[in-house]
Amino acid sequence: MDKLLYKSTRGLEKDISASYAIVKGLAEDGGLYVPSYIPKMKKTMAELSEMNYQDIAYEVMSLYYQDFTEEELRACIHKAYDHKFDTKAIAPTIKVGDVYMLELFHGSTIAFKDMALSILPYLMKTAAKKIGIEKDIVILTATSGDTGKAALAGFADVENTKIIVFYPKDGVSPIQKKQMVTQKGDNTFVVGIEGNFDDAQNGVKRIFSDTTFNKELEDGGFQFSSANSINIGRLIPQVAYYFYTYATLVRQKEIREGETINVAVPTGNFGNILAAYYAKEMGLPLGKLICASNDNKVLFDFIRTGKYDRQRPFMLTISPSMDILISSNLERLIYEIAGADSRATKALMESLTSNGFYEVTDQMKEGLSEFYGNYANQVETQETIKKVFEKNNYLMDPHTAVGYAVYEKYMAESGDQTKTVVVSTASPYKFTKSTMISLDEEYNQIDDFQLIDKMREKSGVEIPGAIHEILEANVRHNTICKHDEMETIIKKFLKI
């Protein structure tokens, strides 16, 4: 097989090395980097089922990052997946009733973003050295709540880097906000945006494609990169945990080797479920990819109709990390179902920017058949948290509950009895108020931070270290700006 390289979904760049794609983050034409082909997993499931998380991560990533030596890649993996996680399993799979929960919240910021953002700084440092970059790298990121803290934690005090995170000032949970604004590190900057996540993300994309601004940055000795899931250095590490959960179930004799399982994934930006799609294309026996949305159900409407339409009210929900109307990673799937047609992909993305919507062809719509889309509204999400806790003594955060509720809708509609893994994307401790009032409305009278002890009493689950840490931490970042002031703020931070 030819060497795996990268190209832009919009056609301008091709034959790009993994290192270059990781450092750049976003292609010059505004497209996303995709692999020249999706490789097949070389190891058998029997072999994988005897491996730990780090070794499975290596087997996946080595297929995609072919310009890294084995020594370089294993070093990145072992520095990432270490004592920062509170379990040796890194991403354990727990049986809850008839469902399996893939817990991705055991890292240092108690959300699934840790799975990729723990390794991205090491990948980026190694990649920058490999391609001879001497400028300081400025990580520029928009967050709907979890990416921000995980990226800040990963890049804090990493030499030759600075990280600037923009978040919607009224669109994250109090605990998410406290995690970000107390972040230590002389190279970290956190800014609240007057607007929603899409405003922050659009601003970041605008800055990436502003050639004049980028030239000013270069003259100042800096170059941008991204820690958002648009970076291929974030997407590929997420593929690993789908192989790991399957290998875990084989090892635990919950499934037979080769048996098909479904996965239900709560998602807003589409990266987490796209990683499952890549795993399936690599040969992992996944059946239906269940795409779960909250009230911002733009992905559900797209999977059902083939029309992606962001022209709708933006809803603030109790699952804020999914409060997104422009799912950036969907562009990679569009490229795949368009038969790797970069011109068609570019035209659709330009239509989204200029018209607020696009519609795929009937033939492309057939490519969506592996996905099932649905959504859970706020009431359904709360009812699911309460029902699962009362029945199984398992407390889910609201994002995970969206995934579980949509899995139940799929079961009811299809009658499909295939064993299913629900991806659990955050600890309930990150969303104390919305989780606890789902159990009992009386908790609404109590402050988010005071509810931490109540949650421990009720659930019996120990308070994570990440929560203890922020309770005593001082606020270090209090900058607020309008979304059209982002460039000015960046220049001020970088002193250019």
CB of 150 within 8 A of CB of 114? yes
Closest CA to 126 of 279, 250, 23, 260: 23
User: What distance, in Å, lies between the first and last C-alpha atoms of the chain?
Assistant: 46
Cβ neighbours of residue 352 closer than 8 Å, sequence gap 6 or more: 308, 310, 326, 358
- Beta strands 93-96 and 99-103, pairing class: antiparallel
- Beta strands 6-8 and 307-309, pairing class: unpaired
Q: Which one of the listed residues 24, 113, 149, 178 is annotated catalytic?
A: 113
d(CA 114, CA 84): 9
CA angle 320, 323, 326 (to 5 degrees): 150
DSSP code of 314? P
Environment class of 354 (CB within 10 Å of its CB; exposed 0-12, middle 13-18, buried 19+)? exposed
d(CA 369, CA 356): 24
d(CA 331, CA 99): 30
In our burial notation (b when 16+ CB lie closer than 10 A, e otherwise), range 114-145 reads bbbbbbbbbbbbbbbebeebeebbbbbbbbbb
113 is catalytic: yes
d(CA 20, CA 115): 22
CB of 144 within 8 A of CB of 322? yes
Closest CA to 65 of 112, 20, 117, 128: 20
Residue 52 phi/psi, 5° resolution?
-85, 180
What the block records as the tokens of 286 is: 């996944």
Q: Which amino acid is at 176?
A: Q
Hey, which residues are catalytic here? 113
